[in-house]
Amino acid sequence: MLITCPYCGPRDVIEFTYQGDGNRERPDPASQNFEAWNAYVYDRLNPAGDHNEIWQHSGGCRTHLRVVRNTLTHEISSVAFAHGGHGSAARRKAEDKS
Amino acid sequence: MMAEYSAFSLLANALKGNKDWKPAWRKPDPKASYDVIIIGGGGHGLATAYYLAKEHGITNVAVLEKGWLGSGNVGRNTTAVRSNYLLPANTRFYEHSMKLWENLSHELNYNVMFSQRGCLNLAHTPAQFDDYARRGNAMRHLGVDAELMTKAEIKRLIPALDISDSARFPVVGGLMQRRAGTARHDAVAWGYARGADRRGVDIIENCEVTGFLRDGDRISGVTTSRGDIRAKKVAVAVAGSTGRVMQLAGIDTMPIESHVLQAFVTESLKPFIDTVVTFGMGHFYMSQSDKGGLIYGGDIDGYNSYAQRGNLPVVDEVMSEMLALFPGLARVRMLRSWGGVCDMSMDGSPIITTGPLPGMYLNCGWCYGGFKATPASGWCFAWTIAKDQPHDLNAPFTLDRFHRGLVIDDKGQGANPRLH
Amino acid sequence: MSPRRTDTGGRIDRLKTIRFTFDGAAYTGHAGDTLASALLAKGVTLYGRSFKYHRPRGLLTAGVEEPNALVTVLKGEVREPNIPATMVEIHDGLVAISQNRFPSLAWDINAVNQLGGKILSAGFYYKTFMGPVFGPLKGTRFWMFCEHFIRRAAGLGSAGSAKDPARYERMNAFCDVLVVGSGPAGLMAARAAADQGARVMLADLEPRFGGSANWSDETIDGAPAADWARRTVAQLEGRDNVRLLPRTTVWGYYDNNTLAALERVSDHKEQPGKGEPRHRYWAIRAKSVVLATGAFERPLVFPGNDRPGVMLAHAAERYANEFGVLPGERIALFTNNDSAYRAAIALKKAGAAVVAIADIRPELSPEMRKLAAEAEAEIFAGHAVVATEGGKALSGLKLQRFDMTNGALIGDARSIHADCLLMSGGWSPTIHLASQAGAKAEWNAARQAFLPPKPTQSWIGAGAFTGSFSTLEALAEGRAAGLAAAGGQSTPAVLPVVEAVPGDPDPAPVFEIRAKGKSFVDFQHDVTAEDVRLAHREGFVSVEHLKRYTTLGMATDQGKSSNVPGLAIMAEALGKPIPEVGTTRFRPPFAPVSIGSLAAERFGDLRPERLTPMHDWHLANGATMYSAGLWYRPMIYGHAGETVEQAYVREAKATRDSAGIVDVSTLGKIAVQGPDAAAFLDRVYTNMFSTLAVGKARYGLMLREDGLAFDDGTTWRLGEQDFLMTTTTANAGKVMQHLEYFLDVIWPELKVHVTSVTDEWAGAAIGGPKARQILAACVTGTAVDNATLPFMGIVRGEIAGVPVMICRLSFSGEMAFEVYCGAGHGTHVWEALVEAGKPFGLVTYGLEALGTMRIEKGHVTGAEIDGRTTARDLHLDWMLSKKKPFIGSAMMDREGLIASDRLELVGLIALDNKPLNGGAHIVEEVDEANPHGSIGHITACCYSPALGKHIALALVKAGKARQGTRAHVSDPLRNRFGPVEIVSNHFYDPEGTRMHG
């Protein structure tokens, strides 16, 4: 399996660490909504088909990637920075504010 | 009455040209309704059907299998049977399984070839040896056999093992469970299938469940590729496909990820190793089948998959660990590799429970432990279905234990299914 | 020259004689021979014994699919079992032995199994050996007793335990087009792709490229096909964009067009060349793959079809044309298709007598009749072989008229005298790699074969692989495939002209002749046609059940020749067409792969070794090293004659009496830097770090998201935006990934950068009442007095000219300091500290003394933070800030995590004054005979020199409330039972007066 890291290009799966279901929403740190916390920590989407996942290029640039991969065929249809990487919208927004 | 299978029946049939053997199980068409439907004709589903009939007298049961019977993990595992767990809930459950294994061939009148040749966990540092001592003592305090072995004893038991001090991770000792061993995996499925069939259970192959029927909130049956089938109780035992089947019931998230686990076998060899052996500084386990093939495996590939197909990094890693223990095997050849899909739960322990919907019963989350669990899983699941409440042995294996903080985490890895 | 060797032709070099032994007997052959061809040339007929019945077996094939002729190749003590003799290239000094026989290949005692006959039918072992229900052999004992003998009779060759001295290596390769198979289709594809400028790799499992061109009697462009192949290969060899891989089996087709191949680099040599590995494992990422893997010929299933001397037709053709060897002198053929007639011609030309051709088909084409006439063979159309004769070699066979519409045998049998019978049951395309890639094969009724399906990955098929069995089609398809794979546009070169032996590619749909006697489907595993029918009778009818119940196709050849005949027999029994029985999905590897090659460079070198900068110093100064994960750390610095316990007691005592120094370079170190670094640490740690002053350090605890304890360590604030975090040695990598995940995925708005600096710093912890004096003696540029360097204070200075950071913190419980310097100066600074300490009685201490002092202090490590404990369990709840949320704070109060019966950290003192054991359990009442009632276990233990007692840390149910009570250790594994007192985990100086000074 090859994952095309936006920084490093196509690299073998051995360079990456799987960080699982990318659909989970972490509640606000101060949230006392235990159902939301439990869902975030323990409950996973596990589709047979396209899955939105987080992978870390741990044997490379160590960036986290959001990968859409088919769990039946292992075909990868898209790779993006988990949060747009260093040029991410979120990061830029934060930088604009500061 | 002569048992259907015995040395005498073999001889008698051979004299008649083997023309009179009956099918191991019938191939009935599904009826319109049953008392219990079990989704999944794997080891656990078949064992559940068998124990429902035998222990609880519930025989109006159908087992629905989407492909051929035993096509999932019961025929894809590395056949090890053991009860050497750390935490009491697991040890008790797997020990119950072990006791059922010990009489299974007689009970089923089917030789499942359960061979108690022992399982040895190698320790490579004094700290790891103490860890294994903790586990072994935990077992002993629950009446389960365990013993520590010295390096010299290990060498006598497994002459081909590299126990030299120059090894990257020298062996310092090990934890042995002598009653552990291996069984012939397919025979377990076939033996339970035959046992259930002879008690009246309908085993229906090539019958894929496509949805659930509901009566208000209650699950009242299934739609299948062979028509609708109603039932008072619908039990799900589809480890490896749990995500898919639960999605049909409208449950999208579960404390489970499906991962592919590869297994390997070498060409047949004359007896090379007598026991199951595991490596302590990685993840590698190996035994030898009666046919002579070394059967071995390691870690899951580490990403969600339903493909029953793995990739090279795990292949290379497993072979490297194998040679670290057995450098004489470099010229032996890997004959075949295959993949199975494991339900990796959030604490590495299974789920056997009523619910989560009314009329439904759930058996899943077996991680690496499914094969050895087969008898106890079926036994406990049958109890749970028949009595609408868990047996003491599976009471800890609830679905809500994660949310309640009552996890049973033998490896201490937390909610990271990849690491269990 | 032996009588079986032809005078000319083939790939062998008749001028080079090679000497080798088989089963101890000396033989000669020629360069280019395989073990099979060389022995065949000497008239050897018996090569192996079958798995179950130990029947004598000869060569069935000439290639990788050989099921019968398996040998063990010996290199000194190193054994390589189960190698097909057809794949062993002979070299001087080759030692091969037969296997699975006792005492000898010719006289094998286990051949008695054949007498078991119908009792030993498919799956018989499931129906017996259960043994008695009562008595000494109940349970699993009787089976295990039987199994003992079964195991010894089963198995093929033996593996050795001597370490293979050979080297294996791995290559990663990238190419535009990988061509698998070098027959006419593959060569043409490689040339067409190379002409387009593509980077091409061409792999073939045989030593010589050319495939069928090497043994067909055809001509291409007017010359023998083999010459055309040689010319084409020579052209390819000269090109920069082509890499040729002979002796290379492409065995795996993985995701994203990653293919795995095994190159047998030096097996065919007496000694490998300088620097040459034995095997090279190729991981090839190909943009596109051309599968030109050809087809396997199928045997026919008839009584006695396993007799030595019965061989596939094309195999004989190969032996004659490629090796110049005649497999017999009087040869008969039995076929259901035209391709076998080529073999008749080839053998006739090579000098054998072709005595008969039995063809299942009643009507034969004029072309075939002409070929038969050319071979001077008598034709028996509409006939079948119904029996063979002979012992360890064929002596004759029986023919009978056969009606292929209903399988009936008609009239009397007729005997034919022959020493070799060639059979052909049609051809099965070698679609294994395509199947591995995820595609399902499709049945073609005309070809009576499974053909490759639509590609699921980037591959293109060509030649016999696609069911196009003629050379002309192979060339055309190969050229088209090569062009398409390279994405080429330009007009390709003209196709060569082929002069081929005529033939219809479609066989008659007959797989089995049903007559009296054992008819083998799977030769190696002795699966007969009757076994397949028994499986049908017992309901094992799906293809996977058939395989698993009868073991059909599970042998070392993985059913390359037996799968389709087996399916056909089952289909007939079911009265269904073959495709409805199903096809098995082929799994990697295509052919068995040496485990050494897969481990490659990691064979003998499983993991890297992590060494601290002072490693050599430790070794030179008497340290016994301890392997901790990948690291090596000093365990003790033992004096002559000391036991481990004596050494660590001495080291710990000396530290508490004067001073000790220990290498702590393995601690994980992470630079946490940026404007939001302090805010980030507040979220990561349970306690506050934003309030930490610059130049101070603080002990911190991290939880996982689920609220359980994760890791601990001190973090130093070096600047307003600059922190140095330390982690436990074992969790360094995990903590790093944890931090990165939160920064990258959860809180990308935080301006923080984390960098692993574990390997940048050398660290030494120096502690004891005289530690400060020692530092004062060697540190320059800063004072180290209490005012300048208070508890948890940090200063910068120099030791022996090297800049150092010093933090006053204590793990040992003494007045202690951690000294960090650049890793490259580690030994220099360490030596300076040791030198400065000499007048003060400084000792070096290892992990054992470190552990002893931490147990005395009751500090936790990985044995207590084991992934199942909470901060409260470890009495670290004082570190859980109530002023802020942190990772794990929302989840840490769930019912299971605050239950009253949780395991809590306590101290234990052995009341019998005997050593305690790690991993021992704790019980309220000892029951040595029947241990039960565990309430916890020991996580760490030692003899405490400070207390003069054997003590331990333990996790005990509701342990805090038990302090001051008695319990017992219960360690049945080591037979150690005894009373203990449960106390606080803080054994020594609980007020911390010593470290605060």
ipTM: 0.96
Burial of B349 (0-12, 13-18, 19+ CB in 10 A): buried
Quote the pTM value: 0.96
Q: At what angle do helices C225-237 and C184-195 cross, to 10 degrees?
A: 30
Question: Of C737, C745, C885, which has the smallest distance from its Cβ to A82's Cβ?
Answer: C745
CB pair distance less than 8 Å for C863 and B138: no
Number of domains in chain C: 5
Of B306, B311, B415, the CB nearest to A1: B311
Distance from CA of A47 to the nearest CA of C (A): 19
Predicted pLDDT of residue C991:
92
Residue C135 lies in a domain: no
Same domain, C655 and C786: yes
DSSP string, C422-486: EEE--EEE--HHHHHTTPPPEEETTTTEEEP-S-SSSEEE-GGGGT--SHHHHHHHHHHHHHHHT
Q: What is the rounded distance in angstroms from the CA atom of residue C633 to the CA atom of residue C663?
A: 8
Establish if C132 belongs to a structural domain.
no
* Statement to judge: residues C821 and C913 lie in one domain: no
- Residues in A 20-39 with any Cβ partner in C closer than 8 A: 26-27, 29-32, 34, 37-38
Contact C420, C330 (CB under 8 A): yes
Q: Work out the minimum CA distance from C786 to partner chain B, whole angstroms.
A: 38
Judgement on whether residues C289 and C309 belong to the same structural domain of the protein: no
A2 part of contact set with chain B, CB < 8 Å: no
* Sign of CA pseudo-dihedral B307, B308, B312, B313: positive
Query: Which residues, other chains included, contact B420 with Cβ-Cβ below 8 Å and sequence gap of 6+?
Result: B344, B345, B347, B348, B367, B368, B409, B410, B411, B413
Pair C772, C748 in one domain: no
pLDDT band at B199 (very low <50, low <70, confident <90, very high): very high
Same domain, C381 and C271: no
Residue C782 in contact with residue C795, Cβ under 8 Å? yes
Query: Rounded CA gap, C385 and C515, in Å?
Result: 9
Q: What is the pLDDT of residues C439-485, one digit of tens each?
A: 789 999 999 999 998 888 899 999 999 999 999 999 999 999 999 99
- What is the structure's pLDDT at C2? 63
Alpha-carbon gap, residue B39 to B413, rounded angstroms: 31
The pair phi, psi for residue C377, each rounded to 5°, is -105, 145
Q: Chain A closest CA to C704's CA: distance in Å? A: 10
Q: Per the CB < 8 Å rule, is A43 touching B311?
A: no
Collapsing DSSP states into helix, strand and coil, what is residue A26? Answer: coil
C62 with C36: CB under 8 angstroms? Answer: yes
pLDDT at B420: 87
Contact residues, chain A, for C456 at CB < 8 Å: 73
State the DSSP H helix or E strand holding residue C41, giving kind and residue range, or none if neither. Answer: helix C35-41
Residue C583 lies in a domain: no
| Per-residue pLDDT at C500 | 87
Does one domain contain both C218 and C280?
yes
For residue A32, the one-letter residue type is Q
What is chain B's mean pLDDT, rounded? Answer: 96
Contact flag B331-C594 (C-beta cutoff 8 Å): yes
The CATH number given to whatever domain includes residue C258 is: 3.50.50.60
Please report the pLDDT score of residue A87 as a whole number.
36
Tokens (6 digits) for C623: 């340290």
Phi, psi angle pair for B198, to nearest 5°: -65, -20
Residues C196 and C321 in one domain: no
> Is residue B2 very low, low, confident or very high in pLDDT (cuts 50, 70, 90)?
low
CATH number at residue C938: 2.40.30.110
Q: Do B113 and C147 touch (CB under 8 A)?
A: yes
Residues spanned by the domain of C717? 668-756
Asked if C438 and A73 come within 8 Å (Cβ–Cβ), the reply is yes
pLDDT in tens, B239-252: 999 999 999 999 99
pLDDT at C490: 67
Are C745 and A37 a contacting pair at CB < 8 A? no
Residues of chain C with C-beta less than 8 angstroms from the C-beta of B26: 539
Torsions phi, psi for B232 (to 5 deg) = -70, -35
- Of B252, B305, B346, Cβ closest to residue A42: B346
Interface of C with B in 559-578 (CB under 8 A): none
Size of interface B-C (CB pairs under 8 A): 344
User: Which residues between 4 and 33 in chain C have a beta carbon less than 8 angstroms from any beta carbon of chain B?
Assistant: none
Any domain includes C492: yes
Interface membership of A90 toward B (CB under 8 Å): no
Contact C538 B22 (CB under 8 A): yes
Looking at the fold, whether C339 and C200 belong to one and the same domain comes out as no
Q: Contacts of residue C81 in chain B, CB cutoff 8 Å?
A: 267, 269, 331-332
Instruction: Give every CB contact of residue C986 below 8 A, 6+ residues apart in sequence.
Output: C857, C858, C907
Q: Are C734 and C774 part of one and the same domain?
A: no
Q: How many Cβ contacts (< 8 angstroms) between chains A and B?
A: 73
In this prediction, the residues of chain C whose per-residue pLDDT falls under 50 are 1
Q: Residue C256 has which token pair?
A: 């994203």
Average of per-residue pLDDT across B372-387? 98
* List of chain A residues with pLDDT < 70: 84-98
C-beta atoms of B257 and A21 within 8 A:
yes
Pick the CATH number of A2-26+40-97 from 3.30.2270.10, 3.90.650.10, 3.40.50.11930, 3.40.50.300: 3.30.2270.10
Confirm whether C111 is domain-assigned.
Answer: no
C789 and C749 co-located in one domain: no
Q: Which of C255, C748, C750 sits opposite A1 (nearest CB)?
A: C255
* CATH number for C812: 3.30.1360.120
For residue B113, the one-letter residue type is: M
Is residue C109 included in any domain, yes or no? no
pLDDT for A98: 42
Cis ω for the linkage preceding C589 (within 30 of 0): yes
In Å, what is the CA distance from C610 to each residue of C561, C627, C667, C984?
Answer: 50, 10, 12, 36
Residues C848 and C963 in one domain: no
- On whether the CB atoms of residues C691 and C881 are closer than 8 A, the answer is no
In degrees rounded to 5, what are phi and psi of residue B88? Answer: -55, -40
**Chain A 37-66, residues with CB within 8 Å of chain C CB atoms:** 37-38, 40-42, 54, 56, 58, 62-64
Q: Which chains touch C (3 or more CB pairs under 8 A)?
A: A, B
Residue C698 forms part of a structural domain: yes
Residue C922 is predicted with a pLDDT of 98
Residues on chain B touching A51 (C-beta within 8 angstroms): 304
Interchain CB distance below 8 Å, A64 and C740: yes
Question: Which chain C residues have a beta carbon less than 8 Å from that of B337?
Answer: 587-589
Q: Are residues C633 and C692 in the same domain?
A: no
Of residues A12, A45, A74, nearest to B305 (C-beta): A74
Please give the structure tokens belonging to residue B201: 């259970």
pLDDT tops 60 at residue B164: yes
- Whether chain B has a CB inside 8 Å of the CB on C589: the answer is yes
pLDDT band at residue B300 under the 50/70/90 scheme: very high
Nearest to A90 among C737, C740, C748 (CB): C748
Cα angle: C167, vertex C169, C174; to 5 degrees = 165
CB C689 within 8 A of CB C682: yes
**Of C697, C694, C668, C684, which Cα lies nearest the Cα of C750?**
C684
